[in-house]
Structure 1
Amino acid sequence: MFYLLNIFIQMKILLNNTTLFESLRPFNDLGFVPTMGGIHKGHLSLINKSNKLCKKTIVSIFVNPKQFNNKKDLNSYPRNIKKDLKILKKSKKVDFVYLPKFKDIYKDKKKSKITLLKKDKILCAKFRKGHFEGVLDVMSKLTKIVKPKKIFMGEKDFQQLYLVKNELEKKYKTKVIPCKTVRDKDNVALSSRNLLLNKSNLIIAAKIYETLVDIKKNTKNKKNIPSFLNLKKKELKNNYKIKIDYLELRNIKNLKLSNTKNNSRLFIAYYLKNVRLIDNL
């Protein structure tokens, strides 16, 4: 890791908490972009937003094992720290990159007290037991360490954004800033997991997005939206040979099931080539 320090002169790499505390002490207007690596244009858009609203920007790269409910998923998650650092350096928008070890984040070995309310055990929380407890725990710990003024998160994982914003803004003097989902030329939502897909898989993902747009449009004239979505869910499964965890229309303010297109988003989670993808629109 140390050879990297000579390459990245302006962008300071923070390998432990001691270095982080010393480096960040002079700054009280920090923008924070938490990531698990696999840096793509979606992450860069968060960094650009941070640059506009904050004096300094820090990006963290930490694959948090506690938010994976599937060991195979954890082991297959894309990791290429050297490539990530080159992309971040090339952007010329990042002041600090925090590369913590597990012990830097979880030095306190006390069991997390974070639990989801029954009303929040929906969408991904229903299908990925313990996932969001792990996300909220690590985000709380990272916020406590970094002490950012603003945290920038994408709307692609809207449920994560919703839960993190509600949790952190109550506990810390920080604001969670929502940022629009960034898509590729075929409108597939950018995700680190896309690196696990081949071209034919991505073509299918693009077709699924087109179908979702049509489904969302047609909810406007449907009296029984859950029944309509259940039918469309079966069609998607048959047409694209995919497994679907959920296809639901929910209110953006409270994530309750919605019977109207207004103030609502269509949420989906599905498996393509054993890779779990999520989207909302």
Structure 2
Amino acid sequence: MTNENKNIAIILLVLALFTGATIELSEGTPLVGVILFLIAAFLITRIDISKGQEHRRSIALILLGSFIVLADVVFNYGSQSSIGTLDSMTFFLGLSLIAAGMNSPQIKKMGQFGAYISGIFIVLFLVFYTLFGALNIDFLHIFDHYFVLLPTVAIMKLFGIPLEVVAIETVRMSGVEELTIIIGGPCSGLYSMFLLIGIVVGYGAVEKIPVNRILFLLGFAIAVAYIANLVRVMILYITAYFYGYDAMMTVHTHIGWMIFAAVAGAIMYIMDLQRRTVKDQ
């Protein structure tokens, strides 16, 4: 593996660990979250910075990134709010802009890649979760009901697990205990989809992959993210049916970012093959 590919792989792993740490700190086990943050910090030190032609340092990008990081920290500390996914991506954007402003070509490229990932995530989050809400566009509930809840319920019934749809985002099951489960919010899988879109666009832009191939990979990434999320939701159903609510919530906390890491790694492998194909032509 070349230094460049190794660096990209480490960035993706750091992103997955960073996402997992955020989830653990806000919804799961804080100690696990701290451990994941420490592992991510250690991996950052393993990134190989090769010598090459230095670029001009951009003070504007460094100052902008520093301001975003500081503003994010001050806001969360002042409001004493829990760290959410949007906070993590905002912090990640600030760090990426700082890196993009450096004169080292490797650090600059990693910063550009990170800025694409976090920037695209933030824009899509604001559109689908903030703007649509302000305009009373009920996209999220419709998506959760018709594209997540109903397909997963139908598949589970084929395997003999009885689920009853009782509301637009709610199902009831009778397994080891009577449970009512809400399929909404993070269960839509849109967070992972936003991240994968950012990864594809960012890698394609940084590595100058042709637009038609980027569009194909975008469609592929969205389809894979959607299917992976259906699998995740069905795993939660199965866990709840056989082992109960507490076991389901434990799996819910950990499984999402793990599946994301696996899917992102597979897509990055495919994109690297595309990059080599373009380079050889």
Give the TM-score of the pair, scaled to structure 1.
0.29
* Greater percentage in helix: 2
TM-score by length of 2: 0.29
